[in-house]
DNA sequence: TGTCCGATTGGT
DNA sequence: CCAATCGGACAG
């Protein structure tokens, strides 16, 4: 389960990684990165990102920020790249997003699945002893396993509550893409291939 | 204030 | 295939 190829004592990804303009490119590059959310006692709990979706702000009908919509909930999407957008859906689940681009340009990347790397025993406890392959293979599930909720909305990814590290290099040949999930309302944007995942990785969400 | 529905999940 | 479950968005 533990991935030996993950580089330990890695540095946080720099602000410049997140503030670039092309959210689709950044989304693809997030595959293989390590998402770290320390537990209350400071223990490292982390997972390698294996599936993401890019949301392209005002132009993208699937995005909460479509048409420049700016409300109490979506306000954090307008923050500077390298911050978080965490929202609540279906009355029971949270969804974790990485905000990209400059302040006031509401681009975001939904983290759909990670592969458990550190703190797996704690993840099992938080997920009520589900089998390991079911711990973090979906956007709502990974928030439960990593203890992500509204407290982590608007967090700075260069701070100490949640951050990303370099992780593992994924060869281009192992990266797959396809339409995003659960956005049937998005009209002509439904077919945009802005979902990316690592081929054959067992922690990619079911479909 | 009232209604509609969701960037999901787990069980039938 | 469908229910769970509740806050956000928007109409009135």
pTM of the model: 0.95
Residue A51 belongs to a domain with what CATH number?
3.10.300.10
| Residue A6 falls inside a structural domain | no
| Residue A8 falls inside a structural domain | no
Q: How many residues does chain A have?
A: 207
At residue A30, the pLDDT reads: 98
| Residue A69 falls inside a structural domain | yes
| Residue A89 falls inside a structural domain | yes
Residue A166's Cβ-count burial label (10 Å; 0-12, 13-18, 19+) is middle
**pLDDT tens, A9-25?**
579 999 999 999 999 99
| Residue A133 falls inside a structural domain | yes
Helix H or strand E encompassing A93:
strand A93-100
Nucleic acid strand C: bases within 7 A of protein CB: 4-10
**Structure tokens given for A200:** 């054959």
In the predicted structure, residue A7 carries a pLDDT above the cut 60: no
**Strand B and A77 CB separated by under 7 Å:** yes
Range of the domain at A81: 15-198
| Residue A207 falls inside a structural domain | no
| Residue A27 falls inside a structural domain | yes
Phi, psi of A21 (to 5 degrees): -80, -30
| Residue A1 falls inside a structural domain | no
Number of domains forming the structure of chain A: 1
**Structure tokens given for A3:** 């991935």
In the predicted structure, residue A61 carries a pLDDT above the cut 70: yes
Nucleotide whose C1' lies closest to the alpha carbon of residue A130? B10
Q: Which of A207, A198, A206, A196 is nearest to A3 (CA)?
A: A198
């Amino acid at each position: 389960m533990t991935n030996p190829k993950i580089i330990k004592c890695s540095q946080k990804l720099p602000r410049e990684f997140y503030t670039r303009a092309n959210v689709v490119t950044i989304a693809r590059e997030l595959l293989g990165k390590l998402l770290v959310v320390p537990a209350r006692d400071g223990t490292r709990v982390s997972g390698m990102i294996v599936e993401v979706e890019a949301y392209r702000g005002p132009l993208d009908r699937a995005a909460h920020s479509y048409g420049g919509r700016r409300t109490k909930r979506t306000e954090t999407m307008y923050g500077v790249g390298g911050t978080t957008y965490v929202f609540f859906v279906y009355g029971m689940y949270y969804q974790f997003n990485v905000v990209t681009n400059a302040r006031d340009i509401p681009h975001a990347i939904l983290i759909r699945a990670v592969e458990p790397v550190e703190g797996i025993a704690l993840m099992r406890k938080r997920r009520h002893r589900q089998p390991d392959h079911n711990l973090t293979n979906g956007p709502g599930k990974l928030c439960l396993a990593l203890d992500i909720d509204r407290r982590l909305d608007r967090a700075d990814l260069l701070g100490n509550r949640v951050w990303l590290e370099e992780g593992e290099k994924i060869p281009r040949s192992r990266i797959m893409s396809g339409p995003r999930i659960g956005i049937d309302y998005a009209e002509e944007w439904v077919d945009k291939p802005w979902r990316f995942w690592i081929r054959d990785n067992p922690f990619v969400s079911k479909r």
